[in-house]
């Protein structure tokens, strides 16, 4: 199968570089170039469905209409077209913005031609979501970090503590006096004492060592 390819990038030199990378691959035919998202969408409107690209290599940072906004529009209007972001950005937020917008892959412009072609074939033949290794690593790190439990939130949920009480518990466990806690949290020592009394009642403890154990169990210290 010969794959019709479009390249959308506001810099002509970037488009020509990609074309030079892919020109030797018979399975790829570059049939559309655009300088921004608006230009790309306008060209699609004036092109018959039979001549639409199968895959689009889409830059992110472009004037008039950037890549992410373009993919949001085009992935709904043209659901049969696959979009691979080809960009210099490794920013994790951009990766997930692009995927949520409807992108089918995310590559770096510095990737070798063979990697770009493999990605194009992947989205067409296997409906995959190809990513450059460095981008895939960043995405995985973000997913792992998002899946880690929030100790404060978990303690709040399980024990019914307020955010203020959790802060005081943490400072108590670190060995701070009521005066020191008050200075850190900008409240009076008397207010700290009242919070501590509430903490002891809620946690069913009666000394600082028990507070320290709870803080350690919940990784607050």
Q: Which domain holds residue 102?
A: 3-145
Do residue 75 and residue 182 come from a single domain?
no
Please state, in angstroms and rounded to a whole number, the distance separating the CA atoms of residues 160 and 156: 5
CATH classification at residue 209: 1.10.10.10
Do residue 88 and residue 72 come from a single domain?
yes
Contacts 24+ apart (CB under 8 A), 129-136: 129/99, 129/104, 129/105, 130/84, 130/104, 130/105, 130/106, 131/95, 131/105, 131/106, 131/107, 132/106, 132/107, 132/108, 134/90, 134/108, 135/90, 135/95, 135/106, 135/107, 135/108
Do residue 115 and residue 183 come from a single domain?
no
Do residue 52 and residue 80 come from a single domain?
yes
Do residue 140 and residue 155 come from a single domain?
no
This prediction has a pTM of 0.64
Do residue 131 and residue 162 come from a single domain?
no
Q: Looking at 31-45, 147-161, 188-202, which range is the least confident one? A: 147-161
155 pLDDT more than 60: no
Do residue 87 and residue 114 come from a single domain?
yes
Domain count, the chain: 2
Do residue 36 and residue 100 come from a single domain?
yes
**Domain ends where: 145, 176, 203?**
145
Please state, in angstroms and rounded to a whole number, the distance separating the CA atoms of residues 68 and 97: 7
**How would residue 136 be classed by pLDDT, with cut points 50, 70 and 90?**
confident
């Amino acid at each position: 199968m010969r794959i019709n390819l479009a390249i959308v990038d506001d810099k002509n030199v970037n488009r020509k570089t990609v074309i030079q990378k892919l020109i030797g691959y018979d399975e790829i035919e570059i049939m559309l170039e655009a300088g921004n998202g608006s230009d790309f969408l306008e060209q699609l409107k004036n092109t018959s469905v039979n001549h639409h690209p199968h895959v689009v290599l889409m830059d992110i940072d472009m004037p008039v209409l950037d890549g992410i906004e373009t993919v949001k529009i085009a992935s709904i209007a043209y659901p049969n077209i696959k979009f691979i972001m080809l960009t210099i950005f490794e920013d994790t937020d951009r990766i997930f913005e692009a995927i949520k917008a409807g992108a089918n892959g995310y590559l770096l412009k510095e990737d070798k031609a063979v990697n770009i072609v493999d990605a194009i074939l992947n989205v067409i033949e296997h409906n995959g979501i190809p990513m450059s290794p460095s981008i895939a690593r960043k995405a995985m790190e973000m997913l792992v970090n998002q899946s880690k439990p929030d100790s404060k939130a978990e303690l709040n949920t399980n024990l019914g503590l307020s955010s203020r009480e959790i802060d005081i518990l943490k400072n108590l466990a670190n060995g701070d006096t009521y005066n020191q806690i008050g200075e850190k949290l900008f409240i009076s020592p008397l207010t700290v004492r009242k919070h501590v009394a509430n903490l002891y009642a809620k946690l069913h403890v009666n000394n600082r060592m028990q507070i320290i154990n709870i803080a350690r169990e919940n990784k607050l210290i």
